[in-house]
Structure 1
Amino acid sequence: MTSTLVSSPAQLDYGLDTALGRVTRTTECRVGLEQVEGDPTRFAVRIPAPLPEDLEHATTVVVRVDGRRLTGTVRHSQRLDDDSLKLEVEPD
């Protein structure tokens, strides 16, 4: 997978596990895509601020960017120094 500039507009659907069951939310945002170092089967989605406040708790994601559709389970999330969020995703 090649990297996509952080300025790429995307549609991001994300699932949250709540006490009432799974909730799915959708947001339009800018994203960057990259491979996860040391694990070629995973990819990372980097979302610059401002972020939906519950996005860092996402358990699943569907990213539509540059004509691609990427889906998977979030295995790790990390807030970065610039207030962006990096989600490491294991594809379905």
Structure 2
Amino acid sequence: MKSTQLTSTVHLDYGLDTLFGRITKSAECQVGLEQVEHDPTRFALRVQPPIPQDLEQAKTVLVKVDGRRLNGIIRHTERLEDQSLKLEVEPE
């Protein structure tokens, strides 16, 4: 799996489903971009601490990384040993 260097702090928008519908939240995070093994159509974002408390429940994400605007539906989240959060995203 190939990954990028951590970027400087980036603006991350993410959507949460609530009883009142979807709400969008924003955070400033350090993010690395990775390819997803066995699925070249997806990408993964590795978000470094501090991580927004509700980011693990997010359903969608929008971020600009390495000059690219990336957005999609979060299909899998995983908390890693280094306390980072890996979001596997299917582009929209």
**Taking structure 2 as the reference length, what is the TM-score of the superposition?**
0.92
The alignment partner of 1:5 has SS state of: coil
Gaps of 5+ in 2: none
Aligned counterpart, 2:91: 91
Name the CA distance, whole Å, in 1 between partners of 2:66 and 2:8: 7
Aligned counterpart, 2:34: 34
- The alignment-based identity, stated in percent, is 64
Name the CA distance, whole Å, in 2 between partners of 1:8 and 1:44: 17
Q: How far 1:66 moved relative to its partner?
A: 2.4
CA RMSD of aligned residues (A): 1.2
Gaps of 5+ in 1: none
Q: Number of paired residues?
A: 91
Aligned counterpart, 1:82: 82
1:1-92 paired onto structure 2 within 5 Å? 3-92=3-92
**Taking structure 1 as the reference length, what is the TM-score of the superposition?**
0.92
Q: How far 1:67 moved relative to its partner?
A: 1.7
What amino acid is the match of 2:32? G
Is the 8 Å Cα contact of residues 8 and 65 (structure 1) preserved in structure 2? no
Q: How far 1:10 moved relative to its partner?
A: 1.5
Report the structure, 1 or 2, having the larger strand content.
1
The alignment partner of 2:82 has SS state of: coil
